[in-house]
């Protein structure tokens, strides 16, 4: 049974027991440098803890290499932590694949590789629904179309393959696929970073809208503070694998307490912003 | 939101399948190969004479309307022997490719999926197989199992497995790291389902190209084994045997048996390789 006891809590209720509890997460990668036999330890994530309330929305920001994606992948179950615990709805991730997957889903950064190029949109959704629901063929199609509508697509897209869709449309399909599993936590790993700014806005609006319709919590991983501001209630700032600041998103963006956060904010281009260095490769 | 997305839909047939333009060269090659296979299958209907019974009175007859390519040293019709010979000459490499591809694909995909020590073991075993010459394995197999079709086919299947597996492993490894594989993994599908439904279909163009190219090489190898007398035995009609049988006649001034069989081998290998090249180009375009 999937625990649904918190579904009555709205996004604004911070008092509900957290749907996602992360405690003391640590991940060490062993790197073997070329030519030498000894391995070096790279601490990618170091002592990360946070809570995510049901239907809440938490941003993880930081520069590339700060460990934010590793945190996301551990929570999704794609990586094993070296230490620490991840509790979903109070219990550790189930060993049973199917059960675990219903609870946490993820949308990836690159819209061009995150869908099977050989599968039509409907087939992709149907496959997931067949695994997770007991409904028959027509029931699954109805649900698939409902999901497509929820993400702003429709019948015209059902028989297309990913290559006929734009990047924004592909991310919508990826979101629909993730939602088809009926997750309680949706991880969005730089999910709009590869999109044009205008398309980014559309997808962010969609995400904000979805959260009012269905009970799902967002874990929004991004390097882009402006994007995080639009869809998250709380934010943690990561730097070199550690959490350097945590709190309500608005507070962090308006009055950052940590020096690193201030530098991160100062690096955001805004109107009137003059690049101090050109072609900094970053 | 949906208004913007509607305009971006590119028109595609409702089936959603990309229409592949008919490549005339590909169609030509395919047609010739299909005809050859048909000739092999329908040999009893097409061949003008029995491949085995000759008339010693007309041995080494020159080409004539009755015997288009003449007869061999024991008076058997060369055209009939070529047609019947296509059966084993094409079946042998087909069996080799079927076995080697099955083994190679299984090893490569499982190595990529399971990874870790299993991948290391598979990769080392493939390196080892690469180092062993196929003909040597075939000779050992014949020594153990005796002459015939089975021993060389098994030996060459073993020899061709690493060629299929190694290239496929590296490509499948790249494919496996793409986000769509992780995304179906996250959706809760089993490794079996992911490999069979997603990984395998997406590397299929490469498998097709590899298998086709290996077919040509296997045909030559198998003909060589027959020529050496280690494969199927005379008087069974087979192109490699015909090349070797015709040698004496060749020296006596009747070259048609060896040359026509050798010519067919060359033609089939060239056609199959051209086909394989086309497949390889397509696999590259698709990937």
- What tens digit of pLDDT does each residue of A116-152 get? 999 999 999 999 999 888 888 899 999 999 999 999 9
Distance from chain centroid for Cα A64:
15
A97 to B10: CB separation less than 8 angstroms, yes or no: no
d(CA A68, CA A159): 35
pLDDT at A4: 35
If DSSP codes are grouped into helix, strand and coil, which group holds residue B108? helix
Could you tell me the CA-to-CA distances from A115 to A95, A170, B133 in Å, in that order? 25, 8, 42
B196 in contact with A, Cβ within 8 Å: no
Cβ atoms A122, A171 nearer than 8 A: no
ipTM exceeds 0.90, yes or no? no
How many Cβ atoms are within 10 Å of B95's Cβ, its own excluded? 19
**Smallest CA–CA separation between B9 and chain A, in Å?**
6
d(CA A41, CA B189): 32
- Residue in chain A closest to B287 (alpha carbons) equals A117
Smallest Cα–Cα separation from A1: which of A130, A85, A91, A86?
A91
pLDDT at B287: 60
pLDDT at B120: 95
d(CA B70, CA B58): 9
> b/e string for B269-279 if b means 16 or more Cβ within 10 A?
bebbbbbbebb
- Residue in chain B closest to A161 (alpha carbons) equals B16
If DSSP codes are grouped into helix, strand and coil, which group holds residue B126? helix
Summarised one tens digit per residue, pLDDT across range A193-232 is 888 888 888 999 999 999 888 889 999 999 888 888 888 9
Give me the residue spans of the domains in chain B: 77-286
Model confidence at A271, pLDDT cuts 50, 70, 90, reads low
Model confidence at A281, pLDDT cuts 50, 70, 90, reads very low
A2 in contact with B, Cβ within 8 Å: no
d(CA A253, CA A237): 11
Spell out which residues of chain A touch residue B115, defining contact as CB-CB under 8 Å.
none
Spell out which residues of chain B touch residue A109, defining contact as CB-CB under 8 Å.
179
Helices B200-227 and B150-176: crossing angle, nearest 10°? 150
- Compute the residue count for chain A: 282
A102 in contact with B, Cβ within 8 Å: yes
Instruction: Answer with the residue of higher pLDDT: A2 or A18.
Output: A18
Could you tell me the CA-to-CA distances from B268 to A277, B1, B30, B37, B220 in Å, in that order? 63, 57, 11, 11, 10
B188 to A120: CB separation less than 8 angstroms, yes or no: no
A240 in contact with B, Cβ within 8 Å: no
Closest partner residue to A120 (CB to CB) among B16, B180, B189 is B16
d(CA A115, CA A132): 19
Best to test chain B binding among A2, A107, A164 (most B CBs inside 10 Å) = A164
Give me the domains of chain A, ranges plus CATH numbers. Answer: 20-108+180-266 (3.40.50.300)
How many A×B Cβ pairs under 8 Å?
99
B187 to A101: CB separation less than 8 angstroms, yes or no: yes
Q: What is the dihedral of CA A122, A128, A131, A135, to 10 degrees?
A: -50
B185 in contact with A, Cβ within 8 Å: yes
For chain A, the maximum distance between any two Cα atoms, rounded to a whole number of angstroms, is 60
| pLDDT at position A94 over 70 | no
A169 to B8: CB separation less than 8 angstroms, yes or no: yes
Q: What number does CATH give the domain B77-286?
A: 1.10.3720.10
Residue with token string 């063929």: A137
Local mean pLDDT, 10-residue blocks, chain B (287 residues): 40 46 82 92 90 85 87 89 93 95 96 94 93 87 90 93 93 92 89 93 92 92 90 88 88 90 93 90 77
Here the tokens at position B35 are: 């005809």
Instruction: Answer with the residue of higher pLDDT: A277 or B221.
Output: B221
B16 to A102: CB separation less than 8 angstroms, yes or no: no
Residue with token string 């058997």: B76
B130 in contact with A, Cβ within 8 Å: no
A100 to B188: CB separation less than 8 angstroms, yes or no: yes
Cβ atoms A263, A69 nearer than 8 A: no
| pLDDT at position A83 over 50 | yes
Average pLDDT over residues A83-101: 73
Q: Side by side, which strands form the sheet with A83-88? A: A39-52, A20-32, A83-88, A91-92
B22 in contact with A, Cβ within 8 Å: no
Lowest mean pLDDT of A50-64, A225-239, A267-281, name the range: A267-281
d(CA A116, CA A108): 13
CB-based contacts of A111, cutoff 8 Å, min separation 6: A167, A168, A170, A171, A174, A194, A195
Closest partner residue to A106 (CB to CB) among B8, B186, B201 is B186
**Smallest CA–CA separation between B271 and chain A, in Å?**
29
**Smallest CA–CA separation between A208 and chain B, in Å?**
13
If DSSP codes are grouped into helix, strand and coil, which group holds residue B115? coil
B188 to A166: CB separation less than 8 angstroms, yes or no: no
In order, the DSSP letters of chain A are: ----TTTT--TT-TTSPPSEEEEEEEEEEEEE-TT-SSEEEEEEEEEEEEEE-TT-EEEEE--TTSSHHHHHHHHHTSS--SEEEEEETTEEPPSSHHHHHHHEEEE-S-TTTSS-TTS-HHHHHHHHHHHH----HHHHHHHHHHHHHHTT--GGGTT--GGGS-HHHHHHHHHHHHHHT--SEEEEESTTTTS-HHHHHHHHHHHHHHHHHS--EEEEEES-HHHHHHH-SEEEEEETTEEEEEEEHHHHHHS--SHHHHHHHHTS--TT---SSS----
A98 to B6: CB separation less than 8 angstroms, yes or no: no
d(CA A62, CA A224): 8
| pLDDT at position A8 over 50 | no
pLDDT at B103: 96
pLDDT at B266: 94
């Amino acid at each position: 049974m999937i625990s649904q006891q918190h579904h009555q809590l709205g996004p604004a209720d911070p008092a509900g027991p957290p749907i996602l509890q992360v405690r003391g997460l640590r991940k060490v990668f062993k790197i073997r440098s070329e030519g030498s036999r000894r391995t070096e330890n790279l601490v990618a994530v170091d002592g990360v803890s946070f809570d995510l309330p049901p239907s809440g929305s938490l941003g993880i920001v930081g520069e590339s290499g700060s460990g934010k994606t590793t945190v996301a992948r551990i929570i999704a179950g794609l990586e094993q932590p070296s230490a620490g615990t991840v509790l979903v709805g109070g219990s550790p991730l189930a060993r049973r694949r199917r059960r675990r997957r219903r609870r946490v889903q993820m949308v990836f950064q690159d819209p061009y590789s995150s869908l099977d190029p050989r599968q039509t949109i409907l087939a992709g959704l149907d496959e997931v629904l067949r695994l997770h629901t007991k409904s028959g063929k027509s029931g699954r199609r109805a649900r698939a179309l409902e999901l497509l509508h929820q993400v702003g697509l429709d019948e015209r897209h059902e028989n297309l393959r990913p290559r006929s869709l734009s990047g924004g449309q592909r991310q919508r399909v990826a979101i629909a696929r993730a939602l088809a599993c009926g997750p309680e936590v949706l991880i969005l790993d730089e999910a709009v970073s590869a999109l044009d700014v205008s398309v980014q806005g559309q997808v962010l609006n969609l995400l904000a809208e979805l959260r009012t319709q269905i009970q799902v919590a967002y874990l929004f991983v991004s390097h882009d503070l402006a994007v995080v501001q639009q869809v998250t209630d709380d934010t943690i700032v990561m730097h070199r694998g550690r959490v350097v600041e945590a709190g309500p998103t608005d507070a962090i963006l308006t009055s950052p307490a940590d020096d690193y956060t201030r530098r991160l904010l100062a690096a955001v281009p805004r109107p009137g912003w003059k690049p101090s260095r050109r072609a900094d490769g970053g | 939101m949906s208004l913007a997305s509607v305009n971006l839909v590119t028109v595609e047939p409702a089936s959603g399948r990309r229409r592949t333009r008919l490549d005339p060269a590909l169609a030509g090659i395919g047609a010739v190969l299909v005809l050859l296979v048909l000739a092999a299958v329908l040999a009893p209907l097409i061949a003008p004479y029995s491949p085995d019974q000759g008339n010693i009175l007309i041995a080494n007859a020159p080409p004539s309307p009755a015997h288009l390519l003449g007869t061999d040293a024991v008076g058997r019709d060369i055209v009939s022997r070529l047609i019947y010979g296509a059966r084993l000459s094409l079946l042998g490499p087909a069996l080799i490719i079927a076995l080697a591809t099955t083994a190679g694909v299984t090893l490569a995909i499982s190595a990529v999926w399971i990874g870790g020590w299993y991948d290391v073991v598979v990769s080392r075993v493939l390196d080892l197989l690469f180092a062993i010459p196929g003909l040597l394995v075939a000779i050992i197999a014949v020594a153990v199992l005796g002459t015939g079709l089975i021993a060389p086919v098994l030996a060459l299947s073993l020899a061709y497995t690493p060629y299929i597996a190694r290239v496929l492993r590296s490509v499948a490894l790249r494919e496996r790291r793409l986000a769509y594989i992780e995304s179906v993994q996250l959706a809760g599908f089993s490794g079996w389902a992911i490999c069979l439904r997603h990984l395998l279909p997406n590397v299929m163009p490469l498998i097709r190209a590899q298998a086709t190219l290996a077919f040509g090489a296997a045909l030559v190898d198998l003909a060589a084994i027959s020529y050496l007398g280690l494969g199927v035995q005379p008087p069974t009609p087979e192109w490699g045997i015909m090349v070797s049988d015709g040698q004496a006649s060749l020296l006596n001034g009747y070259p048609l048996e060896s040359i026509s069989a050798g010519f067919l081998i060359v033609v089939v290998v060239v056609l199959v390789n051209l086909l394989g090249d086309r497949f390889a180009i397509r696999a590259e375009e698709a990937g």
